[in-house]
Structure 1
Amino acid sequence: MKISTKGRYGLTIMIELAKNHGKGPLSLKAIAQTNELSEHYLEQLISPLRNAGLVKSIRGAYGGYVLGDEPSNITSGDIIRVLEGPISPVEVLEDEEPAKRELWIRIRDAVKEVLDNTTLEDLANYSGGEQESYMFYI
């Protein structure tokens, strides 16, 4: 399964909203500028996210978007499914050789596990994998 720009940019929107959670609405213009993305394209992605209840729109001069739930309750799998559809590397056919069918199912389940166990809170708090520095004595 290849995640398209819809999934990648939709995840970007949601991570930015998670980083801003509790601070008020965030405009798509601000998200687009921060991430050097097309605001017009983000506008197309926000509608399915809003329809799924993952985001809420706030109208007015200081309006924008906020998360529909706590960042810890929204998974990357929720977002990818809304924007990309079901998570599956290939369509598993019943007449497929059992060994290959089992492989496709295991790959699908592994991807689902990662996506469904990674919350927006995890992604918003990710520090870039900075490693500890070690002191060596000779």
Structure 2
Amino acid sequence: MKISTKGRYGLTIMIHLAKQHGKGPTSLKQIAKENKLSEHYLEQLASPLRNAGLIKSIRGAYGGYMLAKDPVEIKAGDIIRVLEGPITPVEGIEDEEPAKQALWLRIRDAVKNVLDTTTLKDLAEHNNDQPQDAYMFYI
């Protein structure tokens, strides 16, 4: 399973909003600027996140976006599913032989487990100074 820029940038938006949780709305312009991303692209991602009830928009001069729930209630899997669709490593696994089908299901379940046990709070509080484990880059 490969996560596209939709999923990656969607997580960027959500992590930024989690870090600002309780401090009021944040504009997509600010998020785009701080992360060197296209504001227009982030606007396209905000709509499905809002429709899914993960973020809410605040209108006005001091408006922007904020989380619709506490960061501990939002899982990475919620965000990825909204932007990427169902979590599946292989399409049409029902047509695979049983041994391969079992492998694909184990991979799917492992990925789901990581995504569904990692909260937005976990991601927002992650210390960027800590060295990353090599396995994280090869999932």
**Fold match (TM-score > 0.5):** yes
Secondary structure in 1 matching 2:93: coil
Match of 2:123 in 1: 123
Structure 2, unpaired ranges of 5+: 132-139
In structure 2, what is the Cα distance between the partners aligned to 1:66 and 1:22? 9
In structure 1, what is the Cα distance between the partners aligned to 2:58 and 2:42? 16
Residue 116 of structure 1: CA displacement? 0.4
Match of 1:54 in 2: 54
Structure 1, unpaired ranges of 5+: 132-138
Residue 130 of structure 1: CA displacement? 2.5
Q: Is the 8 A contact 1:92 1:101 kept in 2?
A: no
Q: Is the 8 A contact 2:93 2:104 kept in 1?
A: no
1:16 and 2:16 aligned: yes
Worse overlay, 69-78 or 86-95: 86-95
Match of 1:95 in 2: 95
In structure 1, what is the Cα distance between the partners aligned to 2:93 and 2:35? 40
Residue 92 of structure 1: CA displacement? 4.1
Match of 2:137 in 1: none
Match of 1:77 in 2: 77
Percent identical residues: 75
Matching residue's letter, 1:11: L
1:61-84 superposed Cα distances (whole Å, 9 cap, x missing partner)? 000000010000000100000000
Residue 91 of structure 1: CA displacement? 2.0
Whichever structure has more helix as a proportion of its residues is: 2
Match of 1:37 in 2: 37
Q: Output the TM-score relative to the length of structure 1.
A: 0.92
1:99-132 superposed Cα distances (whole Å, 9 cap, x missing partner)? 100000000000000000000000000003637x
Worse overlay, 94-103 or 16-25: 94-103
Matching residue's letter, 1:12: T
- What is the RMSD of the two structures over their aligned residues, measured on CA atoms? 1.1
Residue 96 of structure 1: CA displacement? 1.5
Match of 1:4 in 2: 4
